[in-house]
Amino acid sequence: MRNLGSLIFTIIIISCSLFPELSRRDFTYDNKNNKQNIEILVPKGYAKTEKIIDSAGNQHQLFYYGNAILYTGYYTDTTKSFQSIDTSFHIPLPHPRGGLIYKGIDSAHLYFREIRLYNGLRFGYKNVSQAQEGAFDSALNYSSLRSPFK
């Protein structure tokens, strides 16, 4: 099991060096009155960032790249979502840390992806062009593997 952890860590480090256009940021959220902090990666070049807490207590950190949006969220109400994904059409893949991965292309031929972990964390993007897809996927992969277990 320790070798698997070392392998995953090595893959994360190598994938980060393959995409130098990524930068490290922190996502801090309140988990039942206990502040949690995880390191995330985001593609460089975002125009603005915004933190939103909705009436249900769901917390989001958004990064805007023109029409494209990358987000990290902690959900206290998992029936809510940041982006609408037709789960009857999009069949999820399992995530190695426990959760589901949805990915697809919308009617404008732009990519979307969301990783829903069982611990309430979500990592996603929407309105991403094919040219941006690799950097955004790397950011989500790294961030979701850095998240705490349930």
Q: What is the pTM of this model?
A: 0.83
DSSP 8-state code for residue 97? T
- Backbone φ and ψ for 120, nearest 5 degrees, come out as 95, -5
Residue 144 confidence class, pLDDT cut points 50, 70, 90:
very high
How does pLDDT run across 103-124, given as a tens digit for each residue?
A: 999 999 999 999 999 889 999 9
Q: For residues 109 and 21, give the distance between their C-alpha atoms in angstroms, rounded to a whole number.
A: 23
How does pLDDT run across 53-76, given as a tens digit for each residue?
A: 988 889 999 999 999 999 999 998
User: What are the residue boundaries of the structural domains of the chain, listed by start?
Assistant: 2-146
How does pLDDT run across 35-46, given as a tens digit for each residue?
A: 989 999 999 999
pLDDT value of residue 133: 95
For the chain, what is the largest distance between any 2 Cα atoms, rounded to a whole number of angstroms?
44
Task: Tell whether the model's pLDDT for residue 14 goes beyond 70.
Answer: no
